[in-house]
Structure 1
């Protein structure tokens, strides 16, 4: 279960504040219509507003409130709607709020939204609360049926939070508080997962190595960022990552960190593989066989790496473990992405728009997860423990 997580690795390190902390709500305006602002106490107000205050001397309460709102993000929808407020709670609105945070994975945004469902619930029995959660989970999954991590995150949240041990012996309010505690704990573990994976992978990156990455993965970026902060000397080959060209984004991030980067077109992987020491890829989903679903091109990279005896490492959070068992590339619903070839496509020419492929377990070396470093054959056992 989640208590078996390798997050104990993090206890030796000081982690940044968790995104789960709710943003502060704007302070109520001063009743004095023309206050003289104390520039030493205008914490959070930009230099522009402070300079303007120095020039004009008088700042209205409305203007000061606008200045404060300009630097403080809005509070989550769950904080603006309470069970007695009369405004209906929207899990989609809550999900969209968390999804806009750049460092938050889509599955974690769904977990945060489902936790808000419990806090905002008007249910008076456990059955009603579970029905609300199931309805909200289904609504999130319907929003993007092709997202494996979103679906798996919702399913694992439901299994972890609503397990019935001891709940039937408590009154409803105590049981609801226990559910909220579990939801917050689940969200906390999910947020720490990326950092845990980065810690576990450091022993596999050595000085002078060359790492091939494919597309953009937040957890792979975290691994490389931590390796650079540990003063390890390495270089990275980034594939272009068609059709979204997400490899360009990753190369920009790495270059900003001072890491030597070389950008490749996707078809140059075999040409440069003899220079590569290891491959790091993320995953949209990890399936029961130990294989992964990831952006288009991962399968052919793994094939080339396997033929040249290069290790392929997968970095994936455990909330991406899905109860799926694909047998071939067409077994799952395709993730469609528009493709811009830069030139008009002749009429009658069919274009393959699927942006995801399946890589079988025999072409993967190790999976770095917050449950530990796993071989593909062990994934099925860990997945059973997660869901049961």
Structure 2
């Protein structure tokens, strides 16, 4: 396969390398990912994360394995193993469905390589469209709040919600970005704050519990988040804490936008209650671990409930910003989940 580089993925010497997002921002380590077991471990440990990026990494690995001579039957088994690595993020399933169609071809090696590279190129284009569409909704002088990480680290392109914010800043419309620390694993504090700093975008890091006070003080003009899955009725699964922000934004009359590619839509999922929610390890709440070491602040036997995602009901969302346009609340209420013209 030809060499390829995104912010978090590389193809070099016909090997897949993944930027270890657990080690950021203290270390920038690239992890060799030769097989499905290694990739699944990376996904579960959140070394590779972000719904679009997870789907792309799985697609690229399958294409490389096909090039290296793995038989169709074994490729099919590997594809099914990857399919269940991250149950909440539908991009993985959507990408693997396209790879499965390529695998069914008599020229499956060529078709799988072609399809994997097409998915990467499409994701870059989708991100650009989302950024262009979403930035038109940002008013001059805005202070924006974002949750988790939705930039180039999580996609092949400029990102989803963070791509919108970056475009707004480049247009001179963003005054400041409030960055939630974001549980689990503090991905806003570790990744988004670092990414915005690298881009030169002014930002301030806050604890997740501080957003309400900022909204009450009129310090937040809009909230922008990404999505791991959007149900057919407009309900959205995203990183835990997103629902809380939507409730706060609704109370304080602050616009709340979801930015995502159309690949995050799941028309087969009727509503948020049908979205599987991953539970994560208790140690992510009882302490913290990273490249800096490990710290335990709660008793080791403390009972913990640690969902990785929550579901935001459609009625709390001001707009769904897709690569194909904006879906409005009126459209969703009318049962017409189709984007309006840009």
Match of 2:269 in 1: 324
Give distance in 2, aligned partners of 1:105 and 1:114. 14
Confirm or deny that 1:307 pairs with 2:307: no
Confirm or deny that 1:360 pairs with 2:313: yes
Confirm or deny that 1:193 pairs with 2:137: no
Match of 1:202 in 2: 135
Residue in structure 2 matching 1:291, options 235, 238, 252: 235
Residue in structure 2 matching 1:339, options 269, 275, 285: 285
Aligned partners of 2:143 and 2:178 also within 8 Å: yes
Residue in structure 2 matching 1:239, options 163, 166, 180: 180
Aligned partners of 2:88 and 2:237 also within 8 Å: no
C-alpha displacement of 1:94: 7.1
C-alpha displacement of 1:363: 1.0
What do residues 221-265 of structure 1 show as CA deviations (whole Å, max 9, x unaligned)? 333233333333421112221232222122233244443323322
Instruction: Say if 1:246 and 1:176 are closer, same or farther in 2 by CA, change over 3 A.
Output: closer
Secondary structure at 1:243 match in 2: coil
Match of 1:158 in 2: 100
Give distance in 2, aligned partners of 1:153 and 1:317. 12
Secondary structure at 1:305 match in 2: helix
Residue in structure 1 matching 2:324, options 371, 375, 388: 371
Give distance in 2, aligned partners of 1:203 and 1:340. 42
Aligned partners of 1:212 and 1:236 also within 8 Å: yes
Aligned partners of 1:22 and 1:75 also within 8 Å: no
Secondary structure at 1:143 match in 2: coil
- When you count helix as a share of all residues, which structure comes out higher? 1
Instruction: Say if 1:305 and 1:182 are closer, same or farther in 2 by CA, change over 3 A.
Output: same
Residue in structure 2 matching 1:230, options 171, 174, 179: 171
Give distance in 1, aligned partners of 2:199 and 2:116. 35
Secondary structure at 2:172 match in 1: coil
Instruction: Say if 1:132 and 1:362 are closer, same or farther in 2 by CA, change over 3 A.
Output: farther
Number of paired residues? 291
Match of 1:248 in 2: 189
Aligned partners of 1:312 and 1:364 also within 8 Å: yes
Confirm or deny that 1:111 pairs with 2:59: yes
Instruction: Say if 1:137 and 1:102 are closer, same or farther in 2 by CA, change over 3 A.
Output: closer
- When you count strand as a share of all residues, which structure comes out higher? 2
Q: What TM-score, normalized to structure 1? A: 0.62
Secondary structure at 2:12 match in 1: coil
Give distance in 2, aligned partners of 1:100 and 1:179. 25
C-alpha displacement of 1:195: 2.8
The CA RMSD measured in Å over matched residues stands at 3.7
Unaligned runs of 5+ in 1: 1-16, 26-72, 78-89, 124-128, 384-388
Residue in structure 1 matching 2:204, options 253, 262, 276: 262
Give distance in 2, aligned partners of 1:158 and 1:279. 37
